Amino acid sequence: MAKSCTGKDVAERIGYITRVQSFSACHRLHSKCLSDEENKRVFGKCNNPNGHGHNYKVEVTVRGKIDRHTGMVMNLTDLKKYIEEVIMIPLDHKNLDRDVPYFADVVSTTENVAVFIWDSLCTVIPDGLLYEVKIHETDKNIVVYRGE
């Protein structure tokens, strides 16, 4: 068995793989639990009745042992397929509040979009591999969710 410079067997190595994908969607930050005045105060211009849009960038990271036979934590082709299935098809070029049933009663903040993506990915990615979902709502606003 090959040893690393730290003395660990190569088969004991843990790797992280991140796939980046962009999607566009619109939404309106509005809580049914708040009055119209409270929504305007809490969400400001993001409470615009006609909504607003973002070009989101999402990073999906998996973590696991590097397979000694394939040299992979996970096949990137599979990860790409999972992202297409649970992020791109349901979210890209959609009105999150109207087109995605999850957001009928959940405020479509980027935090909640990250939770939606995490929960959706958990249904297709093998157990224990999903490590992190990071969403860039803008160049300056980034949300990280690790299933906690």
Residue with tokens 């903040």: 109
The domain limits of the chain are 10-27+53-145
Positive/negative CA dihedral, 100, 145, 111, 32: positive
- The pTM is what? 0.91
Q: Annotated active-site positions, please?
A: 46, 93, 137
- Note the pLDDT of residue 12: 82
31 CB-near residues (< 8 Å, 6+ apart): 38, 39, 42, 107
> Looking at domain 10-27+53-145, does it have CATH number 3.30.479.10?
yes
What tens-digit pLDDT sequence spans the chain (148 residues)? 555 566 666 668 999 999 999 999 999 999 999 999 999 999 999 999 999 999 999 999 999 999 999 999 999 999 999 999 999 999 999 999 999 999 999 999 999 999 999 999 999 999 999 999 999 999 999 999 999 9
Neighbours of 115 (CB within 10 A): 17
